[in-house]
Amino acid sequence: MQKKLMELKNLAEKKIQTAKDLQALKEIRVALLGKKGELTSVLRGMGKLSPKERPQIGALANKIRSQLEAWIEAKREELEEAKFVQQLATEKIDVTLPGAPITVGGVHPLQAVIEEVEDIFIGMGFEVAEGPEVETDKFNFEMMNFLKDHPARDMQDSFYITPEILLRTHTSGVQAREMLAKQGEVPLRIICPGKVYRRDQDDMTHSHQFMQIEGLAVDHNVTMSELKGVLLTFIHKVFGEETEVRLRPSFFPFVEPGMEVDIYDPQKGWLEILGAGMVHPRVLEKAGYNPERYTGFAFGLGVERIAMLKYGIDDIRHFYNNDLRFLRQFQSV
Ligand code: DAH
């Protein structure tokens, strides 16, 4: 019996050492030490031994069992390690290979201008407001002091949906909306960017749809000099501190006095960039502000105009054609 056990041990050692992978090792383990395994069946024969032999063989069998277990465990570790090393080799990533290019979008130049202007005015205490593009005659014209027969109200000039509803022709109507919403409270300082629509023939400088940014301040003692200061700050930030500015008297129904603001371009001369003025007393009154107690200023600028001057773009249609060769130039803006 002792001989049988020693034989089993020697054979087992060879089997364990030559196991080629973890699965094979597992099978060897079952074959040796399992319930129906070789060692177990040898031990079954122990009943036939003399009482003197039995403890000796029992002790030897236990020693062999531990020895086999230790070999199997050592082999298991060795195979695990080999498997891991192989995995590292096959799953190795070459970090020096060129990556697949990632296509990222850019900010549209009009959006870039809007965001820049918003930041400047937020820095001066303004909030950003929005109004609807489908607007009523009441807010687009009536509240802004356009008389019933004003030419802008002509079907030839504006896109009407019904006689009372149209695509807004300017962002100025948001002034009245915001004043009404504020219910006579001050201070009110807002800017409103958005799309506007006019029945123009599209060409280099005209588009039937374009963008404006409206500004409005209403408070006690809002003055023309504050308006001038705000506009100069804005222009100098967008076009550079050295930019020359000219204020010219002009007329808009919703301001009195009204003006147009020009900047000087060394190549092109004076260029109009926005309209502005002191809010007309009738506009304040219609929107619930007593013009005896409050004053206001307003301004409206064309976003395309600003973007064209700032980036040297010669045709307004570039903004709307979505030509990637154009848009890609603004990817880092
Ligand atoms: N709404 C005018 C336009 O579309 C622009 C404008 C001029 C807005 C003067 C104003 C302003 O707020 O005070 O041509």
Per-residue pLDDT tens over the stretch 58-111: 888 889 999 999 999 999 999 999 999 999 988 988 889 998 888 888 899 999
Ligand 1 neighbour 275 (Cβ under 6 A): yes
Q: Residue 48: its pLDDT value, please?
A: 85
**Nearest residue (CA) to ligand 1, atom 8:** 300
In the chain, pLDDT over 90 holds for what percent of residues? 72
Q: Residue 271: its pLDDT value, please?
A: 94
Per-residue pLDDT at 53 exceeds 90: no
Q: Taking all residues of the chain, what is their mean pLDDT, rounded to a whole number?
A: 93
* Lowest-confidence pick of 47-61, 78-92, 317-331: 47-61
**Nearest residue (CA) to ligand 1, atom 2:** 300
Per-residue pLDDT at 332 exceeds 90: no
Sheet with 165-167, strands from edge to edge, namely 134-136, 165-167, 160-162
Per-residue pLDDT at 263 exceeds 90: yes
Per-residue pLDDT at 50 exceeds 90: no
Tell me the CA–centroid distance for residue 155 and ligand 1, in Å.
20
Buried b (16+ CB within 10 A) or exposed e, 13-39: eebbeebeeeeebeebbeebbeeebbb
Q: With respect to CATH, is domain 109-330 assigned 3.40.50.1820?
A: no
**Which of 254, 282, 305 has most ligand 1 atoms within 8 Å of its beta carbon, as the pocket-test mutant?**
254
Could you identify the residue written with the tokens 């129904």?
A: 253
Contacts of 199 (CB under 8 A, 6+ apart): 156, 157, 158, 159, 208
Ligand 1 neighbour 276 (Cβ under 6 A): yes
* pLDDT tens-digit series, residues 1-43: 888 888 888 988 999 999 999 999 999 999 888 888 888 887 7
Q: Which amino acid is at 166?
A: L
Q: Which two tokens stand for residue 177?
A: 């909306």
Q: Residue 112: its pLDDT value, please?
A: 96
259: helix, coil or strand?
Answer: strand
Tell me the CA–centroid distance for residue 184 and ligand 1, in Å.
22
For residue 329, what is the DSSP state? G
* Lowest-confidence pick of 145-154, 281-290, 295-304: 145-154
Tell me the CA–centroid distance for residue 251 and ligand 1, in Å.
9
In this structure, are residues 174 and 182 in contact, taking their beta carbons and an 8 Å threshold? no
193: exposed, middle or buried (Cβ count in 10 Å: 0-12, 13-18, 19+): buried
Ligand 1 neighbour 192 (Cβ under 6 A): no
* pLDDT tens-digit series, residues 141-156: 999 999 888 887 887 7
Nearest atom, ligand 1, residue 299 CA: 12
Tell me the CA–centroid distance for residue 179 and ligand 1, in Å.
16
Q: Residue 55: its pLDDT value, please?
A: 87
Per-residue pLDDT at 333 exceeds 70: no
Q: What is the mean pLDDT of residues 279-301?
A: 98
Nearest atom, ligand 1, residue 196 CA: 4
Tell me the CA–centroid distance for residue 45 and ligand 1, in Å.
109
Per-residue pLDDT at 119 exceeds 70: yes
**Nearest residue (CA) to ligand 1, atom 7:** 275
**Which of 153, 169, 170 has most ligand 1 atoms within 8 Å of its beta carbon, as the pocket-test mutant?**
170
* pLDDT tens-digit series, residues 160-207: 999 999 999 999 999 999 999 999 999 999 999 999 999 999 999 999
Q: Where are the domains of the chain?
A: 2-90, 109-330
